[in-house]
Structure 1
Amino acid sequence: MATKCAAAAADLATGRPRKRARLGWDVAPAAQAQIGTFCGQEVGDVASLLLSANPSNHTCSSLLPKGVARNASPPWREDDKDGHYVFAVGENLTSRYKIYRKMGEGTFGQVLECWDRESREMVAIKVVRSVKKYSDAAMIEIDVLQKLARNDVAGKHCVQIRNWFDYRSHICIVCEKLGPSLYDFLRKTGYRPFPIDLVRQIGEQLLESVAFMHRLQLIHTDLKPENILLVSSDYVKLPDPKDGSFSRKLPKSSAIKLIDFGSAAYHHQDRSYIVSTRHYRAPEVILGHGWSYPCDIWSVGCILVELCSGETLFQTHENLEHLAMMERVLGPLPRHMLERADQHAEKYVRRGRLNWPEGATTRESIRAVLKLPRLQNLVMQHVDHSAGDFIDLLKRLLAYEPSARLTAEEALSHGFFSRYGDRRSL
């Protein structure tokens, strides 16, 4: 549900950012301010509250103005102009939850880190904007989260919902607090590629989670590094081969969970609309063929390439250029797929082939496509051992024809995983 914020000014200047536009989750915390002066889109991180893993009620209460009861509701405020809930750090979200900081935001609303007085743990609460379409989507997400929780008793595949409630016309979804997203971890470490063994561990869990959803006839439709969270925030420092210093950071544990099920769809629902974030969108979606479980598998393939290279595989924001990039990396699109393009995509096809480079809008676009290497060459730049198995897996995950792609269950039996032991921590 979370969408992209405006790209940085430097990115706009070049016209082609090295990375995707920054997300609301990536915005650095604002400077600390006085209680009562924050609004939902301005609140910063109160670092002192996070020094203790088990904060006391005294610590929480110390944020409140004198004379305010510890569990009292905050004063009624109008939402901001976009329907976001306006709050102050240290206030309550019902008498049960104490607000510590804002973890992120998007078009759907905000995610707040809160102290749960009842369970005595930190939780993440998605506070949805008081706008009907977002409230309706939130109720669908709650239904999906509850279905996942009922079928995942061990809670190892997807983020676990703890509770939900309606607070002052805002749907609030309470979930377990996890670590950073894979995208956040890559960004904070300078987009340095993950070692292939770590890619294998993460890839195996990702496919297990996707297989779990598909068995329940659910399609995530928005798989991307931003929606894959590490369970733990802990990391280790390893020697950097370049200079021998202990400057390379890697997750201490490879355990992950999926989040953001606001776009999830059941297999029996209408599947003709556009899904997936651009960079992870399958060709059948762009061409208007409709989509099903294989669109998740395509996204997994793109994610694995990104983890091993540190770069988004298809960095584009335009359909024809996107398809041209696919052909550059993976070879020509099948003629029958191009000829079946719907009325919105038929302009990308001419005489049974992609209308490229004739249809390119700029020379820069042509150059962006030409600089991309073939899939095999791209992987070989970053992977030493097991490159053959990895390349073969990726080709099967990124098959153009949806019916030719591996299912998640089939992918888990691939040699890239089966030839190596299971190691979930470094």
Structure 2
Amino acid sequence: MEMQRIMEFPDRIMDKRPRKKPRLTWDMHPPPQPQPPIPPPKVLPTTYHNQEVVNGVAPNHAYPSLFFRGLTRNGSPPWRPDDKDGHYVFAVGDSLTPRYRIIGKMGEGTFGQVLECFDNEKKEAVAIKVVRSINKYREAAMIEIDVLMRLARHDINGARCVQIRNWFDYRNHICIVFEKLGPSLYDFLRKNSYRSFPIDLVREFGRQLLESVAFMHDLCLIHTDLKPENILLVSSEFIKVPDYKFLSRAMKDGSYFKNLPKSSAIKLIDFGSTTFQHQDHSYVVSTRHYRAPEVILGIGWNYPCDLWSVGCILVELCSGEALFQTHENLEHLAMMERVLGPLPPHMIVRADRRADKYFRRGTRLGWPDSSTSRESMRAVWKLHRLPNLIMQHVDHSAGDLIDLLQRLLRYDPAERIKAKEALRHPFFSRDPKRHGYPL
């Protein structure tokens, strides 16, 4: 088997879902060696606060002031105004404080952008989340730091969630320093032309994901935004293997090969939406495709919403495509009923006034309605029932996986399986080697 750096494959399946801009980790060169320090330029005063994480465990104390005013430090670039959306404007080679030199951009989202930087003190590459200089995003970043510190204090080995290394306030941007990880599972699927992972690799991903969710729930934390983009491989290394589904056809573009991660180790990221169980819960959480029915119906949500997201993620890893590719609530509910059967009447009658309009005579989904397009109807009717969908993509362990998914995707959150219970499911106790299956 050939080992190589990730290369781009042609996208055979057009995925029009709204996504964060792709991480560019795979396309970046290795970090250069640190350069000798340059004389400090003359710039305007800047905001700077530094809070170190000691021995991988963040200290437990209140936040210092976000607006401590200090003098510019050696290596800082000339002052530049932010762009119109409050994003930090940078150039490759700039420094974020004298310690971190910018190598390139790894990704961007509504929160801000993630930069790959070289840590001149630790002599290693890191990922720095540079938050937009807008108050609501700064406040959300401070909540995320609180969550990250809580996770770091309890995740001693740092095996479940991305590790915070440091944070500081730089020119009105909260900057959170993380260990540098590999690509997200979504990026890996995208660069692999949305070809699914083998079932035994899905099993390993699922086990680690549920362990991380159980760990968070034990700490009274609800992630609320679980999706393939927020699950990162620890390593970027991969192997190229034959794709037997394509070997029967002579294809000139090399697509009869597919990539598999060399290591199955993963970590959760993006705790900007994470909620403490005792906090007030916002009305809508989760990215659309992974949003639980209780959220859409407005009947209240809690820990089980994370388990629904896990179920949607496992289906996507097995099939290569999101289970519910939709952008509208009524269509989303219709897709759920197409795949999982009718919604329970007792949940429908509890739906809040914003969700009442989706139902006729109180307990029947009003889809299609007069505004439903033919495209929407085709998108719903092409879906298969969950067992049939899984058996199209899984060659062994299909029965165990279907049973697990049916428990994760229970409509009623009170009946949905918990993370620790899911880890005891036969799907995870099955030994592929004992049954003669390749890993």
Q: 1:235 to 1:102 in 2, by over 3 A?
A: same
Kindly state the Cα deviation for residue 72 of structure 1 after the two structures are TM-superposed.
1.6
1:243 paired residue number: 247
Aligned length: 387
Q: 1:124 to 1:272 in 2, by over 3 A?
A: closer
Kindly indicate whether the alpha-carbon contact (under 8 Å) linking 2:41 and 2:76 is maintained by their aligned counterparts in 1. Answer: no
2:33 equivalent among 30, 38, 56: 56
Kindly indicate whether the alpha-carbon contact (under 8 Å) linking 1:137 and 1:262 is maintained by their aligned counterparts in 2. Answer: yes
Aligned partner letter, 2:34: N
Q: 1:28 to 1:235 in 2, by over 3 A?
A: closer
Aligned partner letter, 1:236: I
Normalized per residue, the structure richer in helix is 1
Kindly indicate whether the alpha-carbon contact (under 8 Å) linking 1:85 and 1:129 is maintained by their aligned counterparts in 2. Answer: yes
Query: Taking structure 1 as the reference length, what is the TM-score of the superposition?
Result: 0.86
Kindly indicate whether the alpha-carbon contact (under 8 Å) linking 2:339 and 2:384 is maintained by their aligned counterparts in 1. Answer: yes
1:181 aligns with 2:169: no
Q: 1:359 to 1:406 in 2, by over 3 A?
A: farther
2:201 equivalent among 198, 202, 206: 198
Aligned partner letter, 1:323: L
1:4 paired residue number: none
1:24 equivalent among 13, 21, 26: 21
Structure with bigger RCO (C-alpha 8 Å, 6+ apart):
2
Unmatched 5+ residue regions in structure 2? 1-12, 43-72, 249-253
Question: Partners of 1:247 and 1:287 in 2: how far apart?
Answer: 43
1:377 aligns with 2:380: no
1:36 paired residue number: none
Aligned partner letter, 1:56: Q
Kindly state the Cα deviation for residue 19 of structure 1 after the two structures are TM-superposed.
3.8
1:419 paired residue number: 430
Runs of 4+ in 1 over 4 A off after TM superposition: 26-29, 66-71
Kindly state the Cα deviation for residue 20 of structure 1 after the two structures are TM-superposed.
1.1
Aligned partner letter, 1:134: Y
Question: Partners of 1:422 and 1:144 in 2: how far apart?
Answer: 38
Question: Partners of 2:23 and 2:370 in 1: how far apart?
Answer: 35
2:405 equivalent among 390, 394, 397: 394
Deviations 1:188-226 (A, max 9, x none): 000001100000000000000000000000000000000
Kindly state the Cα deviation for residue 302 of structure 1 after the two structures are TM-superposed.
0.1
1:42 paired residue number: none
CA RMSD of aligned residues (A): 2.5
Kindly indicate whether the alpha-carbon contact (under 8 Å) linking 2:40 and 2:76 is maintained by their aligned counterparts in 1. Answer: no
Kindly state the Cα deviation for residue 104 of structure 1 after the two structures are TM-superposed.
0.7
Kindly state the Cα deviation for residue 420 of structure 1 after the two structures are TM-superposed.
2.2
Percent identity over paired residues: 70
Question: Partners of 1:380 and 1:421 in 2: how far apart?
Answer: 18
Kindly indicate whether the alpha-carbon contact (under 8 Å) linking 1:321 and 1:360 is maintained by their aligned counterparts in 2. Answer: no
Kindly indicate whether the alpha-carbon contact (under 8 Å) linking 2:311 and 2:408 is maintained by their aligned counterparts in 1. Answer: yes
1:154 aligns with 2:157: yes
Unmatched 5+ residue regions in structure 1? 1-15, 30-44
1:86 aligns with 2:83: no
1:258 paired residue number: 268
SS in 2 for 1:416: helix
Question: Partners of 1:143 and 1:51 in 2: how far apart?
Answer: 31
Q: Structure 1 stretch 178-187 or stretch 235-244: which is displaced more?
A: 235-244
Q: 1:173 to 1:408 in 2, by over 3 A?
A: same
Question: Partners of 1:325 and 1:309 in 2: how far apart?
Answer: 16
Question: Partners of 2:222 and 2:286 in 1: how far apart?
Answer: 11
